[in-house]
Structure 1
């Protein structure tokens, strides 16, 4: 079995802990970090379009990309250290949610942390990227809370009307 843990700033410890619990000894654990390609492009666009007119200097886009790669590497190093066992580290770049889904094609289990509202139970506990990944993953998905889960009293009330009878 291959367990893929999606490593995201702020929620990665919960994913690493879950991967450690669910991958037996000898099974593969892959730590995945995906960087969106937009930060360096924004920096380049700002330099070229507004800040670069008539000014010398270097385009900051390349430096922003370099800093992002360095940050991703440090995050994966910290995740591997927390995991405490051999693993594969993968870095991808592109549309984050799509890169995670493509990487999950090689996995048996994908570990994803909730990235939305952490104060109450419900669908808003998933942000757009995590919702896309959960809906499109080609393997089993383990959804974890990055912090202790809120109590059942935070669950929304049932709808005011009775449920529809089953259709035949």
Structure 2
């Protein structure tokens, strides 16, 4: 069994805990982190917008890329320690939701955590990238709450019944 554990900032602990508690010991585990390139690219493009007068060593985009890579490595290391068993680490970069779906190709299970509104049940408990992953993953998806799930009283009311025909 091949299992991908999506290690995302803010919710990774819940995904790792679910894998540790629910996935068989003989499973092939991969801890996946994806860095979104948008911030570093924006800094780089803003800097190069100086009509080419900037020097590469001063480009803040280069520094942000290095910081992002270091943060991803630290996060994957913390996830591996929390998991407490052998797992490969995979750091990708690009459009997060697309990279997660690509990484799940050939996997039997993708484990991820909800990352939206945590005060009620419903579709807003998923941020748009996570919703995309859930909708497009080419394998089974285990979706976990990062904290205890809200109660059933958080469900929206049922829509009103249509009026009876005359």
Task: Could you tell me which runs of 5 or more consecutive residues in structure 2 were left unpaired when the two chains were aligned.
Answer: none
State how far apart, in whole Å, the 1-side matches of 2:53 and 2:140 are.
Answer: 54
Number of residues paired by the alignment?
A: 161
Give the superposition deviation at 1:29: 1.1
State how far apart, in whole Å, the 1-side matches of 2:114 and 2:161 are.
Answer: 30
Partner of 1:58: 58
State how far apart, in whole Å, the 2-side matches of 1:66 and 1:44 are.
Answer: 13
Give the superposition deviation at 1:54: 5.8
Partner of 2:101: 101
Task: Could you tell me which runs of 5 or more consecutive residues in structure 1 were left unpaired when the two chains were aligned.
Answer: 163-168
State how far apart, in whole Å, the 1-side matches of 2:27 and 2:64 are.
Answer: 36
TM norm structure 1: 0.90
Q: Is 1:44 matched up with 2:44?
A: yes
Give the superposition deviation at 1:43: 1.0
State how far apart, in whole Å, the 1-side matches of 2:48 and 2:137 are.
Answer: 38
Give the superposition deviation at 1:53: 7.8
State how far apart, in whole Å, the 2-side matches of 1:37 and 1:91 are.
Answer: 13
Q: Is 1:134 matched up with 2:125?
A: no
Give the superposition deviation at 1:55: 6.3
Q: Is 1:21 matched up with 2:21?
A: yes
User: SS of 1:158's equivalent?
Assistant: coil
Q: Is 1:161 matched up with 2:135?
A: no
What is the alpha-carbon root mean square deviation over aligned residues? 1.6
State how far apart, in whole Å, the 1-side matches of 2:161 and 2:69 are.
Answer: 52
User: SS of 1:85's equivalent?
Assistant: coil
Give the superposition deviation at 1:130: 0.4
Contact kept in structure 1, 2:47 and 2:54, CA below 8 Å: no
Give the superposition deviation at 1:61: 1.0
Distance 1:49 1:86, change over 3 A: same
Contact kept in structure 1, 2:2 and 2:108, CA below 8 Å: yes
